[in-house]
Every structure is written in C-alpha cells, then in structure tokens.
Amino acid sequence: MTGGDGDRRPGERLLVVDDEPTVRELLSATLRFAGFAVTSAATGAEAVDAAARERPDLVLLDVMLPDLDGFQVVRRLRELARPPIPVLFLTARDSPKDKVTGLTLGGDDYVTKPFDLEELIARIRAVLRRTGSPEAATLVVGDLELDPEAHQTHRAGTPVRLSPTEFRLLHYLVVNAGRVVSKPQILEHVWQYDFAGDSSIVDTYISYLRRKLDPTGPRLIHTVHGVGYVLRRPR
C-alpha cells in the first residue's frame, strides 16, 4: 500500500482504492493538489486495513478489485465503523443493477469511468457536506492556513488580519483550490445573492486579499483572463 499527506486538511482525509497504479497515482496527486490528505490502497484487504487505521472521512472505491470487490469492501467497512464511512464508488461498470447494488449497500455516490477530475472533486465535496464531515477544520493550501471556526488566517506562520468579507472570499477560493471560479460564482457564494450590476466588487476584494497575502510568500491568487480567479499552491 502507498500513502501520503500532501496538504493536510484535518477532517477531510480521503482513501483512494484502485488496483490500477496509473489511476491510483493520478487520483492521489490530483486530490492532494486540491488540498485533501490522501492515503491509497491497491486491494480490498488493504482498503479495509487502511480504513481501520486511518479512519478516513471518505473512501473513493473502485468496484473491480483483485481480491474483494468494492461491494464486499463496503460490507466490511459498515461493520468496521460507526457512524459509517462515506463511500464514493468508482467503476467502469455502469449497469443500473450495479448502481442499485452499490447505493443499496450504503454507497453515497457512484461515478463511472472515465470521469472528469473537476467533477469528481465537486462530487467528493458534495458527499462530505451531505454526510456532515467537518467543514470547520483548518484548511491548508501550501503555506496558507485558514481556520473557519476561529476565523483566523495564517500565511507562512504569520497571522493575516481579514475583514469578514475578505475571509469569506478567501474561504471560497481555498475550498475550490486549483479550480477556476467565475465572478458570478464568487458573487453568489460570497455575497450570497445574484448581482446583476457591476461585478468589479470582486476585483476590488481580490486586490485587498493579494495585498495582505502576497508580502509573506509567492502569489497564491491568479487571474484567468475572461474566466475568473483561481487559488493555486505555489510550486
């Protein structure tokens, strides 16, 4: 079994289970870049052992494994932990019967291969929200730490004082790290209403955040012209 920490987001620990090394490594790298802590396993037995040891907040589980199939793994996971660990099935088997079986056994979502990585990350976050995995834990991207519960932000260990609106904006960028978000999306989620007028308020607050975050390290927030903004971990 392989494993790793990446950018740790306590309360958002993922276990990736797939017997194909290329798929397993691609998923693990992508999810770490998105800010999750990731452990991986290649077999059903390894998955059960890892789940018992790590107690992940969500398992991405391939249905077709060399020893136990994904459905058998879910049965064992349900015996292992209370409350049950959320499971998102990954499979090339897309028959209605397989989907019904997976969801009946307690799977929380079902994604068919090949899948879009951005959509997969969105589905993961949706399952975490639905199942009540901690959203208030400290979020980490590179040297940036954001604690939603304490309403505190640190960059390279240095406290960063933010207004409530700046904090909400940064929080939205952090939970979507690596993903480009448009101005309308930002307005909807940060200001929580449809803003039909001048969207330059987004540019203004992005500028505020950059002035406060950039002096302590490499640029985190990048402009994607004609699309929106993205927060990326410095290379």
pLDDT score of 230 more than 50: yes
Give all strands of the β-sheet with 181-182 in edge-to-edge order.
181-182, 228-231, 221-224
Nearest to 17 by CA among 6, 96, 49: 49
What mean pLDDT is predicted for residues 123-151? Answer: 78
pLDDT score of 209 more than 50: yes
* Beta pairing class for 87-91 and 109-112: parallel
pLDDT of residue 36: 85
pLDDT of residue 78: 79
The answer to whether the CB of 47 falls within 8 A of the CB of 56 is no
Residue 1 DSSP one-character state: -
Instruction: Label residue 108 by pLDDT band (50, 70, 90).
Output: confident
Distance between CA atoms of residues 8 and 189, nearest Å: 24
What mean pLDDT is predicted for residues 61-77? Answer: 88
pLDDT tens digits for range 27-64: 999 898 888 889 999 999 999 999 988 889 899 999 88
Torsion of CA 117, 147, 230, 18, to 10 degrees: -10
pLDDT of residue 96: 60
pLDDT score of 22 more than 60: yes
pLDDT score of 15 more than 70: yes
pLDDT tens digits for range 160-206: 999 888 998 999 999 889 989 999 888 877 875 554 556 788 999 99
The answer to whether the CB of 189 falls within 8 A of the CB of 125 is no
Residue with structure tokens 């290649």? 42
What mean pLDDT is predicted for residues 195-223? Answer: 85
Mean pLDDT, rounded, of the chain: 82
pLDDT of residue 47: 94
Instruction: Label residue 105 by pLDDT band (50, 70, 90).
Output: low
pLDDT score of 129 more than 50: yes
